Structure 1
Amino acid sequence: MKIGILGVGYIGKSLSRKLAAAGHDVKVANSRGPETIEADVLATGARAVAATEAVKDVDVVILSIPLNRLPDIAPLIATVPAETVVVDTSNYYPARDTAIPAIEAGQVESLWAAEQLGRPIVKAWNAIGSGSLAEKGAPAGTTGRIAIPVAADDDTARAVGMALVEDTGFDGFDAGTLAQSWRQQPGAPAYCTDLTREEMPAALAAADAERLPKRRDLAVAIFAERAGDPKTNPDSDFGVRVSRLLFM
């Protein structure tokens, strides 16, 4: 498939490398220009381009940017044909994104994102830590392979998202519609806990919407205290241990 990725942070970098290695035609862009994209992002065949080029003539656009920047790129996404699948990997963290009143009032993050972009989206790769995404992929059929929930309102778009998750080394798990995607938001039992396909249904079902924000913020405080910097991602094993302790 032809894929454009906007954002080459922790998640975007891994997606660029993994999807290009899987044989997809991948273009990547950031907000600072193609010349600023590091060579390791492109090591498996992805190409660095301007953001306007990344969304042209592609089957899928993947957004791997902070959630609060989605309104800024809405005009760019408006140029993308309706048949192009748009995948969002973001999560809401108030300390980073500033408070978003609608989400604070209970709106599902993915529904807010779709409103800002003015089009349907697929939610994928938001419920796995960047370390696990980079390090823990495995061939299909491997015992203990980690599953990643994928939500969308359109069945075909959701199937595309699940297939791409498989290509990154994880089991794509059908998590239903965007209205139910709060079950894979930060603080939920399925969020960054590295569960298998068999474990995922119970974790999604056990999510308690009212408890998610408090659990999310507790995890952020623990990670920041350990690292001394709230913007530093935890290593994969420590992150999973904390997430399982607090979210499950």
Structure 2
Amino acid sequence: MLTSHRPGAVRLPEGQIMKISVIGAGAIGGNLARKLGAAGHDVQVADARGPEAVAPGVLETGARAVTLDEAVKDRDAVILAIPFGAAAQLTDLFASVPAGTVVIDTSNYYPHLSGRVEAVEAGAIESVYTSELLGRPVIKAWNAALAETQRTKGVPAGTPGRIAIPVAGDAEEAKRVAMRLVDDTGFDPCDAGALADSWRQQPMGPAYCTELTLDELPAALAAADRVKDAAVRESMAERFAALGADPTLEDIVEMNRAAHR
């Protein structure tokens, strides 16, 4: 079932400082590290190439660069901001992560970037596949908003027109934690159902990178169609090329919305 929640509608751990690690220091991981650090959380960032590979700007709100081993020790939540399929390289690392640590997956499956994954092409749900690679449950969040949207359009709770981000997962308490963190990054969290439903927020469905509000997002999630959305995804490179050499964020969002009109 798809339901929407405004901040405060569920019992989120409001005001609690959390120990969070972000694995991956690219555009998404960097955004999350900065925003969660600015929200007052204890944030660590790890890159597979080592702490020295984390750009200084990622640490500007107080996050610390650490090793991968350090990133999974004594953390309330670990956010995976890594390419789809790379979780296979973290299986041994996560074998020692306590069951109570919330693991959040932000990845998206793009065959032209990661190569075709047979299991996903055969129908496996992307984040269910990631969960199986890690050998533990995950929550899906932050994958359905462009990096530039996340960087520039987060606003305080209650701001009219605030963009919503879908959050899917099977463990309700872990999902509530993820929803609180989405709120802390400047977006309304929307309960998008079980992890098996997370295909509804994957590329290139009506809910994917279309900057919808909390009132609009549930209908977009419900309108997702796996066959049509896969076809839209396959045509993305052609449609993106049609935007010209220097498309704006607004151009890209409109392109995504137009694909489902």
Aligned-residue CA RMSD (Å)? 1.5
Residue 64 in structure 1 maps to residue 64 in structure 2: no
1:243 maps to a residue whose letter is N
User: How far off is 1:162 after superposition?
Assistant: 0.4
1:232-247 pair list within 5 angstroms: 235-247=248-260
Q: Which residue of 2 aligns with 1:110?
A: 127
Residue 138 in structure 1 maps to residue 155 in structure 2: yes
Task: Give the structure, 1 or 2, with the largest relative contact order (CA under 8 Å, sep 6 or more).
Answer: 2
User: How far off is 1:70 after superposition?
Assistant: 1.1
Q: Partner of 2:176: helix, strand, or coil?
A: helix
Task: Map Cα deviations across residues 18-49 of structure 1 (whole Å, 9 max, x no partner).
Answer: 00000000000101111121110000000011
Contact 1:7 1:64 in 2 (8 A): yes
User: How far off is 1:218 after superposition?
Assistant: 1.6
2:216 maps to a residue whose letter is E
Residue 208 in structure 1 maps to residue 221 in structure 2: no
Q: Partner of 1:203: helix, strand, or coil?
A: helix
Contact 1:131 1:235 in 2 (8 A): no
Gaps of 5+ in 1: none
Gaps of 5+ in 2: 1-17
Residue 178 in structure 1 maps to residue 191 in structure 2: no
1:242 maps to a residue whose letter is M
Distance 1:225 1:76, change over 3 A: farther
Contact 2:182 2:189 in 1 (8 A): yes
Contact 1:187 1:247 in 2 (8 A): no
Q: Partner of 2:155: helix, strand, or coil?
A: coil
| Mapped partners of 2:255, 2:218: distance in 1 | 21
Contact 2:85 2:130 in 1 (8 A): no
How many residues align structurally?
Answer: 244
| Mapped partners of 1:39, 1:223: distance in 2 | 31
Q: Partner of 2:78: helix, strand, or coil?
A: strand
Distance 1:86 1:224, change over 3 A: farther
Residue 33 in structure 1 maps to residue 33 in structure 2: no
| Mapped partners of 1:177, 1:235: distance in 2 | 33
Percent of matched pairs sharing the same residue: 54
**TM-score for the superposition, normalised by structure 1:** 0.95
Q: Partner of 2:85: helix, strand, or coil?
A: helix
1:1-248 pair list within 5 angstroms: 1-223=18-240, 226=243, 235-248=248-261
1:132 maps to a residue whose letter is T
Question: Structure 1 residues 170-179 or 29-38, which shifts more?
Answer: 29-38
Decide which structure has greater helix share: 1
Distance 1:224 1:7, change over 3 A: farther
Contact 2:243 2:251 in 1 (8 A): no
| Mapped partners of 1:226, 1:244: distance in 2 | 14
**TM-score for the superposition, normalised by structure 2:** 0.90
